[in-house]
C-alpha cells in the first residue's frame, strides 16, 4: 500500500513566470526531487499546475511513499515540499498553502503491472479478435444483402425492380455515415457500435423476411406446378423418370429454379422443348450442354433459347444422341440447373 502527500498552493498568474525562471520555485522543487531519491521509502514526485492564464494558478506537488512511516519521517525532517514553499510565501496567495496526507488504494507498482498486462492483451488479442469480427460482420452483410436483393428482384414497380431503390438507399446511408464520421474529430466507441448494431439488425430483419417470403413463394410455385411436363407434340412423359418425350415443357419459377431438375426425352428424334418463364420480372433462358464441366468452362452449348423476361415463352428444337446431358439458365448458372436424359 502506498501513501501520498499532496501539497497545494496558489500563485497569482502574473507571478508564474517568475516561478519558472532559473533558480525559481520550480527549480528548487526539481532539486528537492533529486534529494528525495535517496530518502528511504520514496517512490515518486510530481509537480503539476492548472493551465489558466488569468486569476490564480493552482500548484500541486505530489510525493509517493512506500509506507506510512517513511512519510512520517519525511514530514518531520528537513527540507520538505512545505518548507520550500514557505520560503516563497511572498509569491503565494495568502492562506492557499495546504498539506493533505492520503492512502493510495492502488500502488504505482500495481498500476504499472496492470498497464503491462493490458498492453499484452491488446497486442495478442486484437490481431485476432478485430479481423475475426470484421470477417463475421462482412459475411453477415454480404449474405443478408444477397438474400434481400434476390427476393426484391421479384418485386417491380413499373419497369423498376425494388432492388434498385434499395441499392440507392444503401449508398445514401453509406455517404451519410461517412459524413457523420468525418465531421467529428473524435467519434465515440458507442456511436460506432450503435451504427454497426443498426446495420446488422436491419440486414438480419431483411434476411429473415427474404427467407420467409422465398419459402412462401416456393410453396406457391409447387402448388401451381403441374404433376408432370406436358407433351404437346404427342410424345410420352418428360419430367423425372417418365417415358421419353418428343415434346415437353419446362418452366422457370420463382426463387430462381426450374420446375423440374430432371427431364427425359426421346433419343435420335426431333424433340420440341417449350421453355416458359413464369418468374415475373426475371430474365432466364434454357440451355443444354454436353456436361456440367463444359458449362462451367464456358464452352459451346449444344442448344439454347434466347433470353426472355417473364412472363414469356421460347421454343427449342433439338435432336440428341442417347446419353445424359446438363441444362441450366446461363443468367443464373449456379441456382438453376438440371439433368436431361435422352434414351
Answer yes or no: is 326 within a domain.
Answer: yes
Q: Which residues, in sequence order, are CB contacts of 243 under 8 Å at separation 6+?
A: 236, 237, 264
Lowest mean pLDDT among 70-74, 141-145, 305-309: 141-145
Q: Is 98 left (phi over 0), alpha (psi -120 to 50) or beta?
A: beta
Same domain for 179 and 92, yes or no, is no
230 occurs within a structural domain: no
Looking at the structure, tell me whether residues 214 and 259 fall in a common domain: no
pLDDT surpassing 80 at residue 114? no
Both 85 and 178 in a single domain? no
Q: Give yes or no: residues 123 and 99 share one domain.
A: no
Distances in Å between the Cα of 94 and the Cα atoms of 12, 20, 100, 329 are: 10, 20, 18, 92
> Do 99 and 5 touch, CB atoms closer than 8 A?
yes
170 and 253 inside one domain: no
Look at residue 235 and tell me if it is in a domain: no
Q: What is the pLDDT of residue 32?
A: 92
pLDDT above 70 for 198: yes
Clarify whether residues 72 and 151 are in a common domain: no
Q: Let me know whether 116 and 158 are in one domain.
A: yes
Tell me, yes or no, whether 237 lies in a domain: no
Note whether residue 257 is domain-resident: yes
> Contact at 8 Å (CB) between 278 and 310?
yes
Average pLDDT over residues 158-185: 75
Q: Which residue has the higher pLDDT, 185 or 76?
A: 76
Q: Where among 222, 237, 257 does a domain terminate?
A: 222
Q: In the prediction, which pLDDT does 152 show?
A: 65
- The total domain count for the chain is 3
Residue 88 maps to a domain: yes
In terms of domains, do 254 and 156 share one? no
Residue 132 and residue 164 in one domain: yes
pLDDT at 132 over 70: yes
Q: For 160-181, what is the mean pLDDT?
A: 77
Residue 234 belongs to a domain: no
Q: Please give the pLDDT value at position 162.
A: 67
- pLDDT value, residue 109: 67
- Percent of the chain, pLDDT > 90? 37
Residue 66 backbone dihedrals phi, psi, to 5 degrees: -70, -30
Last residue in a domain, options 105, 120, 153: 105
Which of these ranges, 57-71, 75-89, 129-143, has the smallest mean pLDDT?
Answer: 129-143
Co-location of 99 and 136 in the same domain? no
CATH number assigned to the domain comprising residue 9: 3.30.70.100
Residue 243 confidence (pLDDT) above 50: yes
> Are 273 and 303 in a shared domain?
yes
Give whichever of 48-52, 113-117, 232-236 has the largest mean pLDDT.
48-52
Q: Helices (H) and strands (E) in the chain — how many of each?
A: 8, 17
Task: For the beta carbon of residue 93, count every other beta carbon within 10 angstroms.
Answer: 15
pLDDT value at residue 262: 93
Average pLDDT of span 48-71? 89
Higher pLDDT, 294 or 204: 294
Report the chain's mean pLDDT, rounded to a whole number: 82
| Domain containing residue 175 | 111-222
In angstroms, the CA 251 to CA 273 distance is: 10
Any idea which of 208-212, 243-247, 259-263 has the lowest mean pLDDT? 208-212
Instruction: Extract the runs of DSSP E, i.e. beta strands, from 133-206.
Output: 156-157, 160-161
Closest CA relative to residue 142, chosen from 194, 191, 206: 206
CATH number at residue 253: 2.60.40.420
Residue 236 belongs to a domain? no
pLDDT per position as a tens digit, 214-238: 655 555 555 544 444 444 444 445 5
Average pLDDT over residues 174-187: 78
For residues 173 and 97, state if they share a domain.
no
End-of-domain residue from the set 71, 86, 105:
105
Instruction: Give residue-wise pLDDT tens across range 16-28.
Output: 888 888 988 989 9
Selected residue with higher pLDDT from 138 and 99: 99
Amino acid at each position: 500500500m502506498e501513501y501520498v502527500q499532496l501539497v497545494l498552493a496558489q500563485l497569482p498568474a502574473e507571478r508564474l513566470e517568475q516561478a519558472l525562471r532559473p533558480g525559481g520555485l520550480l527549480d528548487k522543487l526539481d532539486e528537492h526531487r533529486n534529494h528525495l531519491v535517496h530518502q528511504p521509502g520514496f517512490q515518486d514526485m510530481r509537480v503539476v499546475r492548472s493551465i489558466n492564464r488569468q486569476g490564480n494558478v493552482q500548484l500541486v506537488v505530489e510525493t509517493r511513499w512506500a509506507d506510512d512511516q517513511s512519510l512520517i519521517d519525511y514530514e518531520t525532517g528537513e527540507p520538505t515540499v512545505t518548507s520550500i514553499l514557505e520560503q516563497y510565501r511572498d509569491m503565494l496567495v495568502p492562506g492557499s498553502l495546504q498539506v493533505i496526507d492520503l492512502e493510495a488504494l492502488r500502488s504505482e507498482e500495481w498500476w504499472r503491472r496492470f498497464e503491462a498486462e493490458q498492453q499484452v492483451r491488446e497486442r495478442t488479442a486484437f490481431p485476432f479478435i478485430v479481423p475475426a469480427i470484421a470477417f463475421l460482420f462482412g459475411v453477415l452483410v454480404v449474405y443478408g444483402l444477397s438474400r434481400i436483393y434476390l427476393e426484391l428482384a421479384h418485386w417491380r414497380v413499373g419497369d423498376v425492380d425494388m432492388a434498385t431503390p434499395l441499392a440507392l438507399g444503401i449508398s445514401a446511408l453509406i455517404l451519410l455515415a461517412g459524413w457523420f464520421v468525418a465531421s467529428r474529430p473524435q467519434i465515440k466507441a458507442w456511436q460506432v457500435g450503435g451504427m454497426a448494431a443498426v446495420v446488422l439488425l436491419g440486414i438480419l430483419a431483411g434476411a429473415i423476411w427474404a427467407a420467409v417470403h422465398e419459402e412462401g413463394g416456393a410453396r406457391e410455385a409447387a402448388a401451381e406446378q403441374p404433376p408432370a411436363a406436358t407433351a404437346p407434340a404427342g410424345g410420352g412423359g418428360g419430367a423425372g423418370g417418365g417415358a421419353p418425350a418428343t415434346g415437353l415443357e419446362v418452366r422457370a419459377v420463382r426463387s430462381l429454379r426450374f420446375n423440374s431438375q430432371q427431364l427425359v426425352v426421346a433419343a435420335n428424334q426431333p424433340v420440341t422443348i417449350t421453355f416458359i418463364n413464369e418468374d415475373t420480372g426475371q430474365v432466364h433462358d434454357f440451355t443444354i450442354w454436353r456436361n456440367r464441366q463444359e458449362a462451367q468452362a464456358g464452352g459451346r452449348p449444344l442448344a439454347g433459347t434466347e433470353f426472355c423476361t417473364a412472363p414469356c415463352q421460347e421454343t427449342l428444337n433439338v435432336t440428341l444422341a442417347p446419353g445424359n446431358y446438363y441444362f441450366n439458365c446461363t443468367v443464373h448458372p449456379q441456382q438453376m440447373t438440371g439433368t436431361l436424359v435422352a434414351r
